Each structure stands twice: as C-alpha cells, then as structure tokens.
Amino acid sequence: MLEKLKINRKLLKELDFSIIIVAILIASFGIMNIYSATYLKSGTHVAKSQLMWLIIGLLIIYFILTIDYSIIEGYANIFYWFSVFLLVLNDTPFFKHTVNGASSWMSIGGFTFQPSELAKLGIILIISKKLDEMEGNINTPKNFFTLVLYAAIPMVLIIIQPDMGMTMVCFFIVLGMFFMAGLDLRIILGGLAGASALVGLVMTTSIMPAYWKSRLTSFLNPQADELGSGLQLSESLKGIGSGGLFGKGFLKGTQVAGGFIPENQTDFIFSVVGEEWGLIGGLALLTLYGILLYRFIKIAKNSKDIFGKMLCIGIISLYMFSIFENIGMTIGLTPITGITLQLMSYGGSSMITSFIGIGLVLNVGMRKKKINF
C-alpha cells in the first residue's frame, strides 16, 4: 500500500517545483492578510484554520501526483456525476445552508462546504475527457451539443441556488476550453451575444433576485447608494486608495481594522492587500499569479495528449477569470459577484479546489513524456 503512495524518482525530475513554491507563497501571503482582517474579532483562529487548509491542500497535491492522470481520466464521469448529485442534494432542506442570500453551501454534521466548487472541477474533467474521446473535433453539431449539455447541467443547478459568481466562473471555464479546442469563432461570438442579451432580458423581469441586479449595476456608480449595494465597493476603494504606493503596513489598515469592508477576509481580501501593502504589494501578488499562469501554460503546451492539454486549459481559465473578476470587483472594474481570489481568500472549499487544480496541472506536466520508465 505504501509503495503505491511513492512517486518514481524519474517522474519527480519532471515535476515543476516552482509552481508549488509560488502557490505556497501566495497562500502564505493570503494567511497574513486573513489574519490582519480577522485578528481583532477572532484572534488567530481564522488564520490557523486557513493554514490547516493549506497543509491539507499540499497533501492532496502529493496524493494526486501518485496517480497517473490517464487513470484520473477514467474516473472523470464518476467525479462529474457525483458533483451533480451533490448539487441536487444541496437543494434539499436537509442539507441546504444559505449564506448571503445564496443556498450554495451544504451543511453535514456542522461541516459546511460548497458543492459548486467540486462541480467546476467536474466540468473541467468531463469536457477534457469528452474532447479526448472526440479527438478534439468540437465543430460537429453532435460533439458540440454533447459538450454544451454536460456543461449546462451543473450550471443550471448552480443558477437555481442562486450563485451568480460561480455561474460566471463555470461559464468562462467552458468558454476558455471551447476557444482553445478550436470552436468556430462565429459560434463563440454568437454565444456571447446571446448570453449578454439573455442577461439583459432577465434583468428586466422578476426572475433575477433584486440583490443580483444591484450587484451587477452598483459598481458603475457605488456613490449612488453608499449605505446599501454600493457600501462594499465604496469602502474597498477608500481602503485601496489610502494604501498609496507602499501601503500603511501590516496590521495598520484602518479600513481593515475598523471592519468597514464586509467579507474582507474572503471575497474582498484584495482590499486588505491594497490598504496594507499598497500598489507595490498588489503588483507583487499579480507577478506571482503571472508566474503561476505562465508555468501552467507551458505545461499545457507540452502535454502529450488532448485530455492533459484541455485539463490544464480548464484550470488556467478558472484561475485567469477568478483573478481578473475578484480583483476587478474590489477596484470597481467589474460587478460584485462573490468570487473568491484563488489561494488568497479564506475558505476550505476554495483552497482545496485551488490545490486540486494545481495538482492536476503538475500531474500532466510530470507525465508529459509518452513513455516514463
């Protein structure tokens, strides 16, 4: 049994350790900022909890690396349908746990997690597997609509919760994978136009919850309702703006310490970075993300098969959109959607799926050669 948990030394030579180092640096920086955002109310409890998730995440990476990703491909269907089952189960009163108006959390024996976090990985795995079976041929009606169906099932269940942020994450994961798979650009542009028109239409009806509408529009003019929907963004802008070039210093953020920014340990963690570490700190964090994504892209390009390549592209799409949207919403460039910042935001579900994604990419990179002896 123990022998199966050992990684071949020749395979270890192919492992991109720089990805693990950068991920640890980002997560450690996140823990520092989470501590700054919570220590006055919770002491070290929240930061210690996040440190525990970091350690568990690293152990998960090791476990993933012991399994050839071609074997993981064989279980993609099971993982996908299990994540769909959890989403369905999550809509029952026995397990449903509502946070900030969204029933996207599941509670079992006092332990809460987001099934949608697993669902986005399920979408990546199943689309990668199906594209591999289709030999990458996405531009036939049968293949295209098969992939759309697999993507739509969990996304519809997530919309029902309702969780706008996770729906957007899943949509852009699929968009990135379809684009890199070579889907006809006319279909992509038509799909984007159709999705935009649908959102615009739904916003004029009572189907979309009122707080979704306010979140989608408040970023355009947060001052119009500073005590309501624009509060979070207004306070975030004050904090980041007051940080200046070098920031106020660790544990010296007045917006952070005063608790003026709601969810500043989760969705708005970048506000803490901006106030306490300034523009330099923000750019340093973006540089680390840039290195991480560059290494991901390099592994995707050198992958030996379609499944491995598309798996990496799915994870890249996940990270790119989450980083852009999360940081964008804290500085008023994008709507406030409740998307976490990968490896930085507090939360076990988010941290674990972030590390699973890293483990899958490292697995592909470690086994990029056709034959490994």
pLDDT of 372 strictly over 50 = no
- Token digits for 21? 């180092």
| Residue 12 pLDDT | 87
Q: Rounded mean pLDDT of the chain?
A: 87
In this structure, is residue 158 part of a structural domain? yes
pLDDT tens digits for range 33-49: 999 999 988 899 999 99
In this structure, is residue 9 part of a structural domain? no
The number of domains in the chain is: 1
In this structure, is residue 62 part of a structural domain? yes
In this structure, is residue 77 part of a structural domain? yes
| Residue 236 pLDDT | 87
- Provide, rounded to the nearest whole percent, the portion of the chain with pLDDT above 90: 57
In this structure, is residue 224 part of a structural domain? yes
| The residue type at 351 | M
d(CA 97, CA 105): 5
Q: How many residues does the chain have?
A: 373
Q: Do residues 352 and 27 make contact, with C-beta atoms less than 8 angstroms apart?
A: no
pLDDT tens digits for range 76-108: 999 999 999 999 887 766 665 555 555 566 766
In this structure, is residue 2 part of a structural domain? no
In this structure, is residue 107 part of a structural domain? yes
In this structure, is residue 30 part of a structural domain? yes
d(CA 136, CA 308): 12
Segment 221-229 mean pLDDT: 55
Cis amide leading into 335 (omega within 30) = no
Classified as helix, coil or strand, 139 is coil
Domain encompassing residue 345:
14-366
**Separation of CA 210 from chain center:** 25
Higher per-residue confidence, 195 vs 312: 312
| Residue 286 pLDDT | 97
